[in-house]
């Protein structure tokens, strides 16, 4: 088994040293600073892992359940603290999927599951979200794709990269489809809590015995560098298998990540941080929508949740070369090409970064880049 590089990561690797002057693709809220936590940190905290729980700090697991609305529905034993939602997905997929198993994925979607499934030798079945249907997940096609051969279904809700959201009724329908064939249903909720036009969808870990919820402090709370996330699943075997795989990679969660995440998720602090994230995210989104409404050459389906969406380029412009053109002089503006999601006619636009982000600068450079870009 060898994990192959995905175009999204390839682009990030190639461009990390490019030092852009503007970014039109911030995918997370403005990040807090370490200093924001100092008062609550205990200087006598031993930086050892002795006496630590292999599945995470008990208080942190309690906060994780509360923010997911799973208090009293799932138990702390159903939670495993991980190095971000990325590790959470990794542990669940690598342990549950075997060669020749089928996994049903959405496209466009978060590429991690496909990369890992291919490395395992599993068969990938894709269900396509189309822009003309507002990037909605076609449930009739999901029903066709899920068969007795399906071992796992992987979705992100809210969806990365379109910002579409599955509501409770839709999720219940997908749970029924999964249950009919006994498939694992993994829903990555890394963007949950930033819904712009409706309530937060319920977490599948509370809806289905084989429901797996993954999430983290990375996006809405802007703490991606902390590398702290979680898996929630009522199946004790899955949590145990995840702990076993993790023991053979990073062994245990990092204590600083857990301690700081525990502070960040304390109810009052969490409410305040989420209120700020929602206020600033919706202000940036309003600015982006206003700007896009005035553009002849660019349009998007405004994300219903989260901080990213796909902007549609005019015919004849391929997002890969265009993103590189925009990163060069004189624009020096970073955004992700939609080709990272098999959407070569789109670019990924982000409204993260909070109040401090200078969206205007990036957007005016993007407009200039579009005017200057040589057309075929
Ligand atoms: C859908 C989705 N899942 C997982 C991740 C990884 O997040 P984390 O920093 O929690 O590992 C991201 C980050 O971009 C994401 O968008």
Residue 260 lies in a domain: yes
Last residue of a domain, one of 266, 285, 307: 266
Residue 2 lies in a domain: no
Q: Do 109 and 26 lie in a common domain?
A: no
Half-sphere exposure for 89 (CA within 13 Å, toward CB): 22
Residue 121 lies in a domain: yes
Average pLDDT of span 332-358: 92
- Quick one: pLDDT at residue 307? 97
CA of 320 to the centre of ligand 1 (A): 22
Q: Do 120 and 95 lie in a common domain?
A: yes
Residue 355 lies in a domain: yes
Q: Do 339 and 240 lie in a common domain?
A: no
Percent of the chain with pLDDT over 70: 100
Residue 1 lies in a domain: no
Q: Do 256 and 349 lie in a common domain?
A: no
Q: Is the CB of 216 under 6 A from ligand 1?
A: yes
Atom of ligand 1 nearest to the CA of 88: 11
Q: Do 73 and 208 lie in a common domain?
A: yes
Q: How many independent structural domains does the chain possess?
A: 2
Q: Is the CB of 86 under 6 A from ligand 1?
A: yes
pLDDT band of residue 355 (cuts 50, 70, 90) is: confident
- Quick one: pLDDT at residue 375? 84
CA of 300 to the centre of ligand 1 (A): 22
Q: Is the torsion defined by CA of 222, 224, 225, 229 positive or negative?
A: positive
Residue 146 lies in a domain: yes
- Quick one: pLDDT at residue 94? 98
Q: Do 291 and 235 lie in a common domain?
A: no
- Quick one: pLDDT at residue 50? 83
Atom of ligand 1 nearest to the CA of 156: 1
- Quick one: pLDDT at residue 247? 95
Q: Which of 6-15, 33-42, 155-164, 319-328 has the lowest mean pLDDT?
A: 6-15
Q: Do 251 and 276 lie in a common domain?
A: no
Bridge partners, residue 309, by sequence: 349
Residues 152, 131: contact at Cβ < 8 Å? no
Last residue of a domain, one of 228, 250, 266: 266
CA of 156 to the centre of ligand 1 (A): 10
Residue-number span of the structural domain to which 292 is assigned? 7-32+270-372
- pLDDT tens digits for 97-150? 999 999 999 999 999 999 999 999 999 999 999 999 999 999 999 999 999 999
Q: Do 241 and 304 lie in a common domain?
A: no
CA of 20 to the centre of ligand 1 (A): 22
- pLDDT tens digits for 284-308? 999 999 999 999 999 999 999 999 9
CATH number for the domain harbouring residue 118: 3.40.640.10
- pLDDT tens digits for 140-198? 999 999 999 999 999 999 999 999 999 999 999 999 999 999 999 999 999 999 999 99
Residue 344 lies in a domain: yes
- Quick one: pLDDT at residue 353? 92
Is 371 a residue whose pLDDT tops 80? yes
Is 376 a residue whose pLDDT tops 80? no
Identify which has the larger pLDDT, 263 or 355: 263
Nearest by Cα to 306 from 127, 177, 143, 156: 156
Q: Mean pLDDT score of the chain, rounded to an integer?
A: 96
Q: Is the CB of 160 under 6 A from ligand 1?
A: yes
Q: Do 95 and 164 lie in a common domain?
A: yes
pLDDT band of residue 358 (cuts 50, 70, 90) is: confident
- Quick one: pLDDT at residue 374? 93
Residue 306, SS3 per DSSP = coil
- pLDDT tens digits for 6-21? 988 898 898 888 889 9
Atom of ligand 1 nearest to the CA of 27: 14
Residues 70, 215: contact at Cβ < 8 Å? no
Neighbour order of strands in the sheet with 336-337 = 299-300, 308-312, 346-350, 336-337
Q: Do 154 and 196 lie in a common domain?
A: yes
CA of 372 to the centre of ligand 1 (A): 34
Residue 37 lies in a domain: no
Is 250 a residue whose pLDDT tops 80? yes
Is 1 a residue whose pLDDT tops 80? no
Give the residue ranges of DSSP H helices in the chain. 7-15, 58-67, 84-96, 112-120, 139-145, 168-181, 236-247, 255-264, 267-293, 319-327, 359-372
Last residue of a domain, one of 227, 247, 266: 266
Q: Do 232 and 337 lie in a common domain?
A: no
Is 86 a residue whose pLDDT tops 90? yes
CATH number for the domain harbouring residue 283: 3.90.1150.10
Q: Do 105 and 120 lie in a common domain?
A: yes
Count H helices and E strands in the chain, helices first. Answer: 11, 13
Q: Is the CB of 228 under 6 A from ligand 1?
A: no
């Amino acid at each position: 088994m060898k994990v192959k590089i995905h175009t999204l990561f390839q682009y990030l690797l190639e461009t990390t040293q490019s030092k852009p002057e503007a970014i039109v693709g911030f995918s997370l809220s403005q990040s807090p600073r370490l200093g924001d936590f100092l008062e609550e940190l205990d200087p006598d905290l031993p930086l050892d892992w002795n006496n630590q729980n292999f599945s995470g700090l008990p208080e942190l697991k309690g906060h994780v359940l509360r923010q997911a609305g799973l208090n009293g529905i799932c138990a702390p034993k159903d939670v495993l603290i991980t190095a971000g939602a990325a590790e959470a997905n990794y542990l669940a997929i690598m342990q549950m999927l075997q060669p020749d198993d089928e996994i049903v994925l959405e496209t466009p979607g978060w590429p991690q599951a496909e990369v890992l499934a291919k490395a395992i030798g599993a068969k990938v079945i894709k269900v396509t979200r189309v822009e003309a249907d507002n990037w909605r997940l076609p449930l009739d096609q999901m029903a066709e794709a899920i068969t007795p051969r399906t071992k796992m279904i992987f979705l992100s809700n809210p969806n990365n990269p379109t910002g579409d959201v599955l509501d409770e009724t839709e999720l219940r329908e997908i749970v029924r489809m999964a249950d009919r064939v006994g498939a694992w249903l993994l829903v990555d909720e890394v963007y949950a809590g930033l819904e712009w036009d409706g309530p937060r969808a319920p977490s599948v870990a509370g809806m289905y015995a084989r429901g797996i919820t993954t999430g983290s402090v990375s996006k809405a709370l802007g703490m991606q560098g902390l590398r702290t996330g979680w898996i929630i699943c009522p199946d004790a075997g899955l949590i145990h298998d995840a702990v076993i795989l993790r023991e053979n990679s990073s062994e245990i969660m990092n204590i600083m990540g857990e301690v700081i995440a525990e502070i960040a998720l304390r109810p009052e602090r969490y409410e305040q941080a989420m209120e700020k994230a929602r206020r600033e995210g919706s202000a940036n989104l309003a600015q982006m929508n206003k700007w896009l409404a005035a553009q002849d050459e660019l349009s998007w389906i405004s994300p219903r949740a989260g901080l990213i969406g796909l902007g549609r380029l005019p015919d004849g412009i391929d997002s890969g070369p265009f993103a590189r053109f925009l990163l060069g002089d004189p624009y020096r503006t970073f955004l992700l090409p939609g080709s990272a999601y098999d959407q070569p006619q789109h670019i990924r636009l982000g409204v993260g970064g909070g109040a401090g982000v200078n969206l205007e600068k990036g957007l005016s450079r993007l407009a200039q880049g579009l005017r200057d870009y040589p057309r075929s």
